[in-house]
C-alpha cells in the first residue's frame, strides 16, 4: 500500500514517500528545518549566518574528548615530542614554522589514545604538504 501524499512541513510541496519533508528539505539523509531566526532551510536549528558562537565550556560539554587537550601532561609531552623532532614535520621532514604545525595523536583521544610521547607526532599544516590534514584523511579512508 502506498503512503498517502501529504504536504511538506517546510514548504507545503507534495510528499509521496511517507516522510514529513520533500526532497528539497532533506540533505544527506538529515532533515532540513527552518532557521530559528530567519526561517531559511538549514540542517541544524540555525542557518550558517545565525549559528550562535559557542564558548569553550559549551564546546567541551558537547565533545567531552576535547577536555583532554587542556591536560598538563599533553602540554608537557607535546613540547618533548617537538624537541625530539628537532622542529621538523615527522611526515615530510620539512622545517616547521611557529603556528604551522599540529601535534597529532596516532590513536585518537576519543578512541582510547593517550598523551604519551610515543602516541604523538609533529605534523605540518602548511600547504602544499599539510601532513596533518593528510593523516586525518587517511584515518577516514578518503585518501
Please indicate whether residue 72 or residue 140 has the higher confidence score (pLDDT). Answer: 72
CA–CA separation, 91 and 26 (whole Å): 40
**Under DSSP, is residue 98 helix (H, G, I), strand (E, B) or coil?**
coil
Q: Which CATH class is domain 65-139?
A: alpha beta
CA–CA separation, 45 and 47 (whole Å): 7
Q: Has residue 103 got a pLDDT over 90? A: yes
Please indicate whether residue 1 or residue 101 has the higher confidence score (pLDDT). Answer: 101
Average pLDDT over residues 116-133: 91
| Beta carbons of 120 and 104 less than 8 angstroms apart | yes
Q: Has residue 33 got a pLDDT over 60? A: yes
The alpha helices in 10-140, defined as continuous H runs, are 56-62, 72-84, 131-139
Domain ranges of the chain: 6-50, 65-139
Q: Has residue 86 got a pLDDT over 60? A: yes
Average pLDDT over residues 77-84: 94
Whole-number pLDDT of residue 119:
95
Give the whole-number percent of the chain exceeding pLDDT 70: 89
pLDDT tens sequence across 112-124: 899 999 999 999 9
Please choose, from the candidates 85, 98, 94, the residue with its C-alpha nearest in 3D space to the C-alpha of residue 134.
94
CA–CA separation, 87 and 96 (whole Å): 6
Q: Has residue 143 got a pLDDT over 60? A: no
Whole-number pLDDT of residue 30:
63
What mean pLDDT is reported for the chain?
A: 82
Q: What is the pTM of this model?
A: 0.57
Residue 14 forms beta bridges with which residues? 7
Amino acid at each position: 500500500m502506498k503512503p498517502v501524499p501529504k504536504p511538506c512541513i517546510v514548504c507545503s510541496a507534495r510528499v509521496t514517500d511517507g516522510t514529513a519533508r520533500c526532497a528539497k528539505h532533506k540533505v544527506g539523509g538529515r532533515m532540513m528545518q527552518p532557521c530559528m531566526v530567519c526561517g531559511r532551510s538549514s540542517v541544524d536549528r540555525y542557518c550558517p549566518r545565525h549559528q550562535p558562537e559557542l564558548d569553550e565550556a559549551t564546546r567541551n560539554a558537547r565533545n567531552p574528548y576535547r577536555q583532554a587537550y587542556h591536560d598538563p601532561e599533553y602540554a608537557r609531552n607535546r613540547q618533548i615530542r617537538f624537541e625530539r623532532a628537532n622542529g621538523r614535520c615527522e611526515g615530510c621532514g620539512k622545517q616547521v614554522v611557529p603556528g604551522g604545525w599540529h601535534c597529532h595523536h596516532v590513536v585518537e583521544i576519543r578512541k582510547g589514545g593517550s598523551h604519551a610521547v610515543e602516541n604523538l607526532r609533529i605534523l605540518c599544516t602548511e600547504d602544499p604538504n599539510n601532513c596533518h590534514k593528510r593523516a586525518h584523511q587517511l584515518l577516514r579512508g578518503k585518501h
